[in-house]
Each structure stands twice: as C-alpha cells, then as structure tokens.
Amino acid sequence: MAVRRLEVGLVLSAFPAAAFGAYTLRHQLGDDLDQLWRNLSVCWEKVARNRAVRECRKDLGHVGIIRAAEVTHGIFGWHPHLHPTHVFNREIPATYVQQLHQAQFQAWRSAAENLGLDTPSDRAQALGLVRDGAEIDRYLTKSTYHGANSVAWEMTSTQTKSKTRSSGGRTPWEILRGIGQGSADDLDLWHEWEKASKGKRALTYSRGLRAAAGLDVEASDEDIAAAEVGTEIDAGFQITNWAPFRENPGLGADLLRIVQKQGFTAGMQWCLEKKIEIEDVDPIRDRASLTVRSEQ
C-alpha cells in the first residue's frame, strides 16, 4: 500500500489539475456483496460510454482516471463504492468540474434505473477539485482531503483506515479482527468478502495514464510484496513538495525504482539528496509524525 500510495501521488503531481470523487448505489442489510459489486461495475462502465460524459471530459482536457474500489460493512449492510480521480492536462475551474459531475451523475442514475435498482441519491455522489494548477495543497470538500497525499492515502489505505464515513462502517480488515475476537458473524462476513472480492482490482489506471505521467509499467502486488520493501515499522513517507516532480516527471520513475529495489529508507535518502521535502510516516497513528526536510 505504501508503494501504491507513492505511485498515486506521483501521477497526480504530473498534471495541472485533478478531481476526486465518490460514487455508490443504494443498498440495504442482506444484499449480496457480489451482486452489489457487479452492479457498481456495470453502472460505471455505462458512465464511461455515455456520449455526454465523453464529450464533457474531452472539452476539459481529460487525460485519464485512477479508480479505487472500496468496500465497507455497516448497519445497512455491504457498502461497495468507487473513488475515481480524474486528471486533466490543463487548469480548470470548479464550476467545470461540477458540470462533469452532473453529466456523470445523470449517466450513473440512468444506468442504475435501467438495471431495476433504486434511484441513487445525489447526496451520496461527489466530485471536487483536488487542486488548481500547481497548488497541490488545496483542500477538497470540507477539508476532508488535502492535496495529492491525502487522495493517495484515501485510495490506498483501506487496511489502516478505521471508522469510515458510512454510518458504522467497518473495513474488511476490521471484520477480520472481529474474527480474532471470537465473532462468528464476522467469520460469515469475511467468507462472503473473500468470495466476492476474488479477482477484483482495488486500484486501476486508465490505459496509458501511467506512461503519460512518466512512470514505468506497474509492478504487480506479488512483485512488490516479494521485494520485501519496508517492515511493519516502515510505512514509507509522504512527499510534501511535489514541484520537482512536476518540473521533471522522470524523477518519479527514478524514485519508484529505488524504493522497489532498495526500500523506503533509500528512497528517503534519495529525496534528501535531491532536496525534495518529505515527511516520515507513523504506521500506527496513520498520520505524519516526524518531519524530515531537506536543507534549502
């Protein structure tokens, strides 16, 4: 997850603007997770093929999408949802992003209704600018997300996230902990999660997006895990000044190669040598705890 988080941040830093969103469908306790997930995928495919959406994206200089799929379980049952992050090749105002959101929501709603599902709530869907131009530290909706780092955390930290925004929601990893505490109900939920999630990708990139950001071919989860990058006390680091990567996209590929081959400690040292500002990450508190900045 730490490697994926770094990758997302590097892709976002390569483009002038990005918008982070959330899309979900109505659900209730007892709904089958596998079917909910299928419905979610079908609706998003319909959105991507919608003519109005495609024209709107083209007009805005849309480059591609990083899409994260997340599932939680709460008082209303399973809650699968998508977090798409759109990237653009030029700066765009928030009003244009809202036009894109309206086009996508209309297509999303129509797709759900055509499947015979309840009409999605407009309050459960969102899309907002992550930043304007080069200002990467811009807040998103209600300051929930903060620049590229926060979107990267949101899209890749499902294992460490707890008490999600959905009412009483728990991640699969919290359900797994419940099994360790003796909950038979959680064991049933976990079995359903295992079956429904098999073969699903938690994070996907539009074709050609990584190459457009100057990154190499994506390594598989297995390859990253086999490299034994980091330990339980080494959760990587956060970039606090992405300007060098925007000015020289090739630096991102260099940093990823170092991290994947030599570990995060070597990556941190590389950043310090390049005078790239970073923060060490505390995996227990899931927040930046120790600031390590290069000398100016």
pLDDT at 141: 29
pLDDT at 279: 77
Q: How many residues make up the chain in this entry?
A: 296
Output the CA torsion sign for 214, 218, 219, 221: positive
3-state secondary structure labels for all residues of 17-61: EEEEEEEECCCCCCCCHHHHHHHHHHHHHHHHHCHHHHHHHHHCC
pLDDT at 133: 34
Degrees, nearest 5: CA angle 263-247-237: 25
Cβ neighbourhood burial of 264 (10 Å; 0-12, 13-18, 19+): buried
pLDDT at 4: 81
CB 15 within 8 A of CB 89: yes
Provide block-wise average pLDDT over 10 residues at a time, the chain (296 residues). 81 88 91 94 96 96 92 92 92 92 97 95 88 36 45 58 58 91 95 92 89 79 65 64 84 88 85 86 39 31
CB 25 within 8 A of CB 85: no
Question: Which residue do the tokens 């005078």 mark?
Answer: 275
pTM for the complete prediction?
Answer: 0.78
CB 15 within 8 A of CB 88: yes
233-253 pLDDT, tens digit per residue, is 455 677 888 888 888 878 988
Phi, psi of 6 (to 5 degrees): -65, -40
Question: Structure tokens of 106?
Answer: 């209309």
pLDDT at 199: 87
CA 291 to the chain's CA centroid: 24
Q: Report the alpha-carbon distance of residue 1 to residue 17 in Å, rounded.
A: 24
The DSSP-derived string for 115-174 is TTPPPPPGGG-EEEEEEBTTBTT-B-GGGSSBHHHHHHHHHH-TTT--S-SSTT-B-HHH
Domain spans of the chain, in order of start: 2-205, 223-292
Output the CA torsion sign for 134, 138, 140, 145: positive
Q: Report the alpha-carbon distance of residue 72 to residue 158 in Å, rounded.
A: 9
**What's the count of helices (H) and strands (E) in the chain, helices before strands?**
12, 8
Smallest CA-to-CA distance from 44 within 206, 154, 166 is with: 206
Pick left, alpha or beta for residue 176 (phi over 0 → left; psi -120 to 50 → alpha; otherwise beta). Answer: alpha
pLDDT at 240: 81
Smallest CA-to-CA distance from 151 within 245, 249, 83 is with: 83
